[in-house]
Structure 1
Amino acid sequence: MSTDQPGATVLVGGASGLIGSPLVAHLEATGTRVRRLVRRPASGPDEVTWAPEDGVLPDSAFDGVSAVVVLSGAGVADKRWTSSRRRELLRSRTSTTSLIARRMAEVGGPRRLVAGSAVGFYADRDEEELTETSGPGEGFLAELTQAWEAAAQPARDAGLSVAHARTGLVLTPDGGALGRLLPLLRLGVAGPMGHGRQWWPWITLTDEVRALAHLVTSDVTGPVNLTAPEPLRNAELTRVLARALNRPATVPVPGIALRIGLGGFAAELLNSQRVLPTVLEADGFVFTHPRLEAAAAELVG
């Protein structure tokens, strides 16, 4: 069922997040009704209260729904990766995805589930070109992402259509990697992270949201890389953004400094992941920002 048809409704978990909030706005702007899953008392008919930690998700959440998008999960860059934080990163993703997949299987639908995932699945792969057929890497992020995708198995077992949105580094001044980098770029005190030769699988927030909306109505299943078709090395990406600000980008940030300052999240910035959106492009998706140069001025404001 196409979400631009009158009456189409999409259920969204993680609707208030960095990606979820603009996704909701985009869907509503294109004529789709959105029902949000919230962890507080619902404030209107477009909200449903759920409690993933307690396994609570009412049948009524799925009434009239044509597709479900679940993006819930604690932010990987928000806190240092202590043992308890690693457990929270895993639990916050698997408990929400698993509950939605189980309940969809129990109520017999809706047909379509778009489940959040990440390119952390591939881990550090140097110069290897990575498509959806590439196997997993090693390390915490790879293990977390495999468990995250496995949590949707009940929906697959029930014969429902499941796509895993393996998201790259989402470029937005409001958060994530660019949110940390932009203030330094404005001051002219930023540069390559580590050696700077690592491939960054970037995507603008605009295309991330559009790609998720595309997947809602698509028939593709399995992993789908949500990254721009032209990944850039970290040093080049930094130079492009700095050039848009008329600032230099010559001050390198040593890898050891990133590890001290960011803990485990530094791996996401130092890993080399030459990820290509093979499935997304084959499915007819056209990027608004296939090359960073065209998006840089908008990203830096």
Structure 2
Amino acid sequence: MAPIAHARPTMAFGYLANNSNDDNFDYLETIFPNSFANSLKNIFDINAIKPHSLNEELKKYKQELKKYYQAYELPELVEKIDSDLFIYGNFTPLPNNQIKIVLHLYAEDSKRIFTFTNVGKMETEIFRLVDRITMILLNFMDKDNLFITKIIAPSARLAFFTNLEGDELNQFYFPFMQTGYGVSYFQGNELYNKLTVDDMQAFSNVATRENSYDIITDMRKVRFLYGTWSGNYHDERTRELRESFTANDLNYLKSKEAILETINKTYNGSIDYLIIAGFDTSRSRAWVRCIDLKEKDLVWMQTDIKGGSIKEIGENMIKRMNTKIEDPFKEQIEKNK
């Protein structure tokens, strides 16, 4: 997803649908998106379209703003409202006065949707929750598309999957081992790695239980043709394609969780985090996806990590893994005290 880099980008906010059966929470369906829009405008020069205004805009096309959207509907919607980014989601009240918020972000022409989940307290901490989620939005909209949910401290046991080979992999492993991380033998060090830069891009799409960064598929365009003209070979091939499509697209999350569970069992629970790192051909840039193998959840994602060498990229990754994200609202809160 490209950063929102040009002057005064437009961000459209849809509803946060009430996923409970309690209508008393319906007022939050617009309170939350309006609050996110206001928080972003306080620290970021944006043109914010709130749900009411967005609904009025859609009436020009004889449509109304919906509470729920299929992912494949988003490109057409964003084009109609002439927005750089569309944000919508849902919330679920939880026991002990807590609330779970799920947000979906779609950037124009990205063909990907970013989903993340956050849980916080109602009432006393509602504004802190809004600020925390706004901070996640700000970091993700930056050029690095940063998303990180926790510190991954030394002593954590890591498994890497990369397109590095031979001595490159040794250079990459070294700073992690030197810092105190455990490095698994998950990826064997071979002289040649057949994974290309383009091959690795397929692994940049991640779907996990709470947080995802996944490609948008339009199910309406999928066709498996057959008829009296098709023979046994064609029918068998069609069946294989249908099964592959079902497992790797329609049921991608379920298939991914099964694979992660297999990895966890194969290595007897000795791996804490699986880090997928794709390097460019010059080995001066890399992107990262990090999955908590115990929780089976995406906990760190970053698009552009730079370095003068593979070792330096590894060192920069370690810095990011151990750096708490700065709170852009801290200065504002101090002034209001």
TM-score, normalization by structure 1 = 0.33
TM-score, normalization by structure 2 = 0.30
Structure with bigger gyration radius = 2
| Higher share of residues assigned strand | 2
